[in-house]
A and B are shown apart, each in its own frame.
Chain A
Amino acid sequence: MAKRTTSQRLHARVMLVAAAMVLAFCVVAVNLARIMLVNGEEYKNKAEQNQLQDKELKPTRGVIYDKNGTVLAQSASAWKIYVNASSIPDNEKVRDFIADKLSSVLEDVDYETVREKTDESKSSYVVIKNRVEYDEKEAVVSVLDDKVTYTAVKKDDEGNTVSTSDKTFKLRLAVGIDDDVIRYYPYGSLASCVIGFTGSDGEGKGGIEAFYDDVLKGKPGRLITAKNGRSETMSNEYETVYAAENGAGLVLTIDTTIQRYLEEALEEVYVSSQGAGAYGIVMDVNTGAILGMANVPSYDLNNPYALTEDQKKEVELLEDENEQNEAKRGFYYKNWRNFLVSDTYEPGSVFKIVTTSAALESGTLDESYSYSCYGSIAVADQVIKCHNHSGHGYQQLREGLMNSCNPFFITVGQRLGQETFFKYFEAFGFTEKTGIDLPGEATPVAGSTYHPLDDMSIVDLSSSAFGQSFQLSAIQITTAISAIANGGYLLTPYVVEKTVDSNGNVLTEKQPVIKRQVISKETSQTVTSMMEDVVTKGTGKNAYVAGYHLAGKTGTSEKLSLGKGHYVASFGCFAPAYDPKIAVLIIVDEPVGYINGGQICTPIAAKVVENSLTYMNVEPQYTPEERAELDTPMQNYAGTDLRSAVADLEESGYTVETVGNGDRVTSQMPPYGVIIPKNGYVVLYTETDAEKITTEVPDFSGYSVYDVQAVARSVGLNATVSYNSSTNKNELVSYSQSIAAGTQVSKGTAVKVYFKTNSGVADFG
């Protein structure tokens, strides 16, 4: 060591330091390898958790169309307003400011609500209002930069004030706007029981919105954006988008026009019957497609939480807030409930068509089977009365059905026996759900909603035979009526015909499902002809529509569970009898006054059938008697010589009024082609610019057929009448008209007046 020269010593020491340095670099290099190569992925993942934000892209909910492509439900962009409660400084003035500003720009949001939601919360996302539309959102945007100055107080752990400082608070610091979706139902309450609505999270509640929620809602996408260390989103070159898959659209079997006919008719009977509710279904008998389905009263899909005036009053009577909320919830579910699918009722005499079908199909008896009704019949130790207390006398099967005679059908049921009766009860699908694509279908329960075979007494069988002592849902009955109409095929009813993508391409198409053939074509035709007689001559005669050959059956049942005086009136029918197209079931719950299906449901069903079949371009087929009484279309007299026109018209039986001093007819009222009675009222104008002479429409209700036409003529109107031509005209009383009384119309206008009879249509009492 000592011998070493300075230079050697230097070299040695330099190399020692250099070696140490190289060693240090190697250690760093190894550590670097550990971080970058061994643990690299782990660090990278953690870094990405920090750097990336994952936002859900909401898919657009599918559109709901009616059969013809009319939009029934559609989603649109909306916004939600939220408050980041964690970023509100603990200062009364600031809290007051936020609540004050938000309540001033947001509709239906008051100061207290905002305070309640934000005061105690520490959440960074307190939603103040959902589904805010554009204008309201813009109002919020316009106040976001409003600010308030306040004194911030800094306190130590003991709560002593350490310092105070003046600070400014901008609304933007705590109030945010997020995307939301709003669902519009352009027709409000139309078909509400079928469509349903969506909740605040956009999930379907009720109807097909719920049943097809998975189809409609689509699949959310993801937007992965990079954010910087201050959590600000960075430019879109760092974006990764997994597009949302929009929900499929649904094309319903519901036809808006038919639906509207149905709802208008039900509305009318709901008011006139003072019932608790009126319900109806229109079904395509050949496919099971539901063309119309309505509950009255219904609710507005755009505002499903609105209560009726009566319901509001009832809620207000309650003092306790919990009770009020409870009551409100009860009313919501009542309003939203689809009676036709979810509820069951005793079908009453409508069910006799099933008993008849079973009896004929099984060969237990034929059309010639007869029984004489003396007003009551003893079954086991009970006496069951007929609604006609004096008895229907001698009847064959056809008359029994036309009269809706209970003792008659008790004997038919007893002939059938439990086993055969239950076989057909089961075959018609009354022990199972129909499988309609709507939520909450009532499940038949043996021993509860119907009598199972192994526990069916003779009394059970006897009452079941005429439709009492068990319950069915309206959709089950309509499906059974369709089966009788279409040659015996029990179908699965459905409301969604197609699913389509956003460009209208069909994704899936529903094929009608035949569950089974319940009765033969022959039986079907026999029962159809009997049902047609029910309408032409029996309890269903108020349902008569000239040319459309309705086949139907009335029903009235008592809700025994509720004690006396609670009835369900119904009428089930299909038309035209020679080539059935549609089945219609009309139910009125707890009618007041006239309680029989034959009295209140039949005219409604007739209107629905007539309007629907006309709309569907089904040609009426008139009988010769009907044709004789048919009104005729107006001929064209414009341009003809006045004197010959008047002579021609008067010869045909018309009453003619002329207006003006000209020689030639310039225009006429009613115009060319309008159908009016053969003894109608015609106004001829002879001057081109003559003003139309008018008259006031009188109240036509309560008149006979002859009187109505006389009254009409006396005021210069044409009354076209609608009634059952095979009914005794003296029985018919007008009850409704196409143009409201008091309306000013041109003289010569045609007004349609409806008639019905109250005799011989009762099947209960």
Chain B
Amino acid sequence: MTAKQFRDGYFRILRWRGSFRNYFATGGFDGVFLALLMIILISGLIMMFSASYVYSWYERGDPYYLFKKQLIYTAVSLVAMFIISHIRYDVFEDSAVLALIAAAVLLVIVLAHPKVIPGKEEFRRWLEVPVFGTFQPSEFAKIAIIMYCAWAMDKRRREVETRLWVTIPHLAVIAVIAGLVYKENHLSGTILILAIGIIMVFLGGSKMQIFAIGFAGIVVLGIYAFASGYIKDYMGERIEVWQKLLQNQELTAAEAQGEGWQILQSLYAIGSGGLLGMGFGNSNQKHLYLPEPQNDFIYAIVCEELGYIRAIIIMLLFLLLVFRGIYIALRCKNRFATLLTLGISFQIGLEAGLNMAVVTGTVPNTGISLPFFSYGGSAMLMLLAEMGMILSVSRTVEKKPAKEKSANEQA
């Protein structure tokens, strides 16, 4: 393989294609998708403010401190979304491998030089970025995995569908990235990257046997983890707390003050909401009971203030966004674009679902944020960049993407 073939096979982005017009996506984007997104985004911002102002006041002396930062992040991210929505998705396709490598490099760097946040010394998730502040490479790793998988599943679609072994290197790539994230002490990120990767491989058409084998492997691994005492040692208490709360049992004082504190306070918050909620801004649990209510447990404050009906409506909004993404994906004629859009959509659905499951104690506690709601700059930037990608894809839905593709190949 010549260098040019290598470049065109894996790093096509490095080849300049002449006019900017060749990179510029035209056509109308999907209005429904954007509308849903904006509803969720604005709801998220408002609730982020409500959940954060007590914490901001006590920690920073300014109730708007976190809200203002989040507003700036969101504004910057919306600009990024706008720009990305005007980039033709083949740019994403061409840069998929580069993105994966960049993600891997960043993950290595963060392991070597993490920014240590006081009180969270055991986590190595954040990189110090000038101007921007902190950045979580694992956030970028998610989109990189989606891009890479979509690229890979598109490029070798026939082999993937017929030969078992073709999938294995891709799974290995996913495993490596997931492993790096795991090394950051980022369990939820690991789970998400694994889940997204597996869904991408699944949607890519891999043979079912590989999943049967994988499922068997997971079961074996699970049994091993349980038998070797790993789960008991590292997650035993967490799981015990989860089981007790799910069965309405009282926690011991040590549990209630320790491992169970956050989830217990979350349940107090959610339970206080009832059918109609305490009213916007009226959460009691955000008054320093629920630790960092603006982050992973923001949905508890949503439930407390807005009540069951509105909490379910927010849940439905996420589902609708996901389904609108699926709708766009399935109407798209380009396989990469389809897989990319599906991956992003399912990522949103996965994160939202997992977050709500954690907050409600449906699954054991693992730190995972709620898209568009939780406070955090890198997550917001990545999410809206992804939304930009979907919007970019949506511009091509009504046209003939195949034709354009052939035009590119001619150039």
Contacts and interface: CB of A to CB of B under 8 A. Distances in A.
B326 A24 contact: no
A51 B287 contact: yes
B101 interface: no
Interface string B6-41: 000000000000000000000000000000000000
Contacts of B312: 29, 32
Given A28-B360, A228-B54, A43 B267 contact: yes
A80 B326 CA distance: 69
Interface centre among B271, B308, B315, B360 (most CB of A within 10 A): B271
Given A6-B205, A28-B357, A31-B360, A14 B268 contact: no
Interface string A2-38: 0000100111011001100110110111011101110
Given A24-B353, A35-B270, A51-B287, A18 B326 contact: yes
B270 A36 contact: yes
Interface stretch (B70-78, B169-177, B342-350): B342-350
A29 B309 CA distance: 10
Given A31-B362, A32-B270, A47-B272, A14 B342 contact: yes
Interface in B199-228: 199, 202-203, 205
A33 B307 CA distance: 10
Contacts of A44: 268, 271-272, 274
Contacts of A318: none
A226 interface: yes
A39 B271 contact: yes
B267 A35 contact: yes
Given A6-B205, A21-B346, A43-B268, A36 B357 contact: no
Given A10-B338, A13-B203, A21-B346, A32 B308 contact: yes
A18 B322 contact: yes
B323 A18 contact: yes
Interface string B179-204: 00000000000000000000100110
Contacts of B268: 43-44, 46-47, 50
A46 B272 CA distance: 9
Please classify the interface of chain A as helix (H, G, I), strand (E, B), loop, or mixed, using the class held by over half of its residues: helix
A234 interface: yes
A672 B222 CA distance: 117
A42 B161 CA distance: 53
B203 A14 contact: yes
Nearest to B311: A32
B285 A11 contact: no
B319 interface: yes
Nearest to B323: A18
B275 A36 contact: yes
B319 A28 contact: no
Contact of B272 (A11, A40, A230, A234): A40
Interface residues of A, number: 37
Interface in A35-87: 35-37, 39-44, 46-48, 50-51
B326 A14 contact: yes
Nearest to B203: A13
Given A42-B271, A44-B274, A36 B289 contact: no
B350 A21 contact: yes
B284 A51 contact: yes
Nearest to B356: A28
A593 interface: no
A36 B308 contact: yes
B202 A29 contact: no
A229 interface: yes
B376 interface: no
A10 B315 CA distance: 26
Interface in A227-280: 228-230, 234
Interface in B282-337: 284-285, 287-290, 303, 307-308, 311-312, 315, 318-319, 322-323, 326, 329-330, 335
A21 B54 contact: no
Interface string B338-373: 100010001001100100110011100000000000
Contacts of A226: 284, 287
A745 to B, nearest CB: 76
A9 B161 contact: yes
Interface residues of B, number: 50
B248 interface: yes
Contacts of B203: 10, 13-14, 17
A527 to B, nearest CB: 78
A217 B301 CA distance: 44
Nearest to A33: B308
A29 B307 contact: no
A13 B272 CA distance: 39
Nearest to A36: B308
B289 to A, nearest CB: 4
A230 B362 contact: no
B123 to A, nearest CB: 23
A219 B106 CA distance: 68
Interface string B49-80: 00000100010000000000000000000000
A28 B271 contact: no
A9 B207 CA distance: 11
Contacts of B308: 32-33, 36-37
B391 interface: no
Contacts of A18: 322-323, 326
B307 A36 contact: yes
B357 A43 contact: no
Nearest to A30: B362
Contacts of A37: 274-275, 308
Contacts of B267: 35, 43
B270 A229 contact: no
B287 A229 contact: yes
B271 A27 contact: no
A50 B266 CA distance: 13
B362 A47 contact: no
B354 to A, nearest CB: 8
Given A21-B353, A36-B273, A50-B289, A28 B362 contact: yes
Contacts of B318: 25
Nearest to A52: B284
A36 B285 contact: no
Interface centre among A27, A42, A44 (most CB of B within 10 A): A44
Contacts of B338: 10
B289 A229 contact: yes
A32 B319 contact: no
Given A10-B205, A25-B319, A43 B271 contact: yes
Contacts of B362: 27-28, 31
Given A13-B203, A31-B361, A35-B360, A228 B273 contact: no
Contacts of A229: 287-290
Given A18-B322, A39-B271, A229-B288, A24 B357 contact: yes
B202 A17 contact: yes
B356 A43 contact: no
A363 to B, nearest CB: 83
B107 to A, nearest CB: 26
B311 A36 contact: yes
A27 to B, nearest CB: 6
A73 to B, nearest CB: 44
Interface centre among B157, B315, B361, B362 (most CB of A within 10 A): B362
A234 B287 contact: yes
Interface in A493-509: none
Contacts of A9: 161, 205
Interface centre among B58, B269, B287, B322 (most CB of A within 10 A): B287
Given A9-B205, A10-B205, A14-B330, 14 more contacts: A6-B161, A11-B330, A18-B322, A18-B326, A24-B357, A28-B356, A32-B360, A35-B267, A36-B271, A37-B274, A40-B275, A42-B271, A44-B274, A226-B284
14 contacts: A6-B157, A6-B335, A17-B346, A21-B319, A21-B349, A28-B315, A32-B308, A32-B356, A35-B267, A43-B268, A47-B272, A47-B289, A229-B290, A230-B288
Q: 8 closest Cβ contacts across the A-B interface?
A: A43-B271, A229-B288, A47-B268, A228-B287, A229-B289, A44-B272, A36-B308, A228-B288
